[in-house]
């Protein structure tokens, strides 16, 4: 999270970012930030902190490609998933409807929490600590466990 975000958007675009996601609170005019991202030819996303209500994106839905639900307070890895964010994920999935908008979750995602995220409507997951704990020899099995748990809810 960078605040104010607008002075840095072009630098991220020129560095090669394909999608630029801004926190709703990172500038005074969310719509203007999204317009700047689009004008640079990039996809645009909005990130919502745990205390940020989902209706913040209601009036910019047609300007975004991704909504990122932070399921921990940003700042450091290894935090526990906040179950209250499942309600937000469900609400956003309903709000998004048939629009081609990805619904991503980041924070505290583990094999124990990923199924609930997918069941609530998430279609993109960020898993840092759960993927990379235990050293390099554990990475493959960690990712396999995450994938298995995520696809459990997708089974018919």
Is residue 1 domain-resident? no
Closest CA to 124 of 145, 103, 155, 95: 103
pLDDT of residue 76: 64
Give the 3-state secondary structure of residue 58: coil
Is residue 54 domain-resident? yes
- Cα separation, 89 vs 149, in Å, equals 18
Is residue 89 domain-resident? yes
pLDDT of residue 98: 95
Is residue 51 domain-resident? yes
Is residue 78 domain-resident? yes
pLDDT digits (tens, 9 = 90+) for 56-108: 999 999 999 999 999 988 776 777 889 999 999 999 999 999 999 999 999 88
Give the 3-state secondary structure of residue 20: strand
Tokens read off for 105:
């979750």
CATH number at residue 62: 3.20.20.70
Handedness of CA 114, 24, 5, 36 (dihedral sign): positive
Query: Percent of the chain beyond pLDDT 90?
Result: 79
CB 101 within 8 A of CB 65: yes
Total of domains in the chain: 1
The pTM is what?
A: 0.91
- Cα separation, 70 vs 79, in Å, equals 11
- Cα separation, 51 vs 70, in Å, equals 9
Please report which confidence band the pLDDT of residue 122 belongs to, taking 50, 70 and 90 as the band edges. very high
Range of the domain at 28: 6-152
């Amino acid at each position: 999270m960078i605040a104010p975000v607008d002075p840095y958007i072009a630098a991220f675009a020129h560095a090669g970012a394909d999608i630029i996601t801004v926190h709703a609170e990172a500038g005074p005019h969310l719509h203007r930030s999204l317009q700047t991202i689009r004008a640079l030819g990039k996809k645009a996303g909005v990130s919502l902190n745990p205390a940020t209500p989902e209706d913040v994106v209601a009036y910019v839905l047609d300007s975004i490609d991704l909504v990122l639900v932070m399921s921990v307070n940003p700042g450091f890895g290894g935090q526990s998933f906040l179950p209250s964010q499942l309600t937000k994920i469900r609400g956003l999935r309903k709000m998004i409807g048939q629009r081609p908008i990805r619904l991503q979750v980041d924070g505290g995602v583990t094999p124990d929490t990923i199924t609930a995220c997918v069941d609530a409507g998430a279609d993109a997951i960020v898993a840092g600590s759960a993927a990379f704990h235990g050293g390099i020899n554990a990475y493959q099995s960690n990712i396999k466990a995450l994938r298995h748990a995520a696809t459990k809810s997708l089974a018919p």
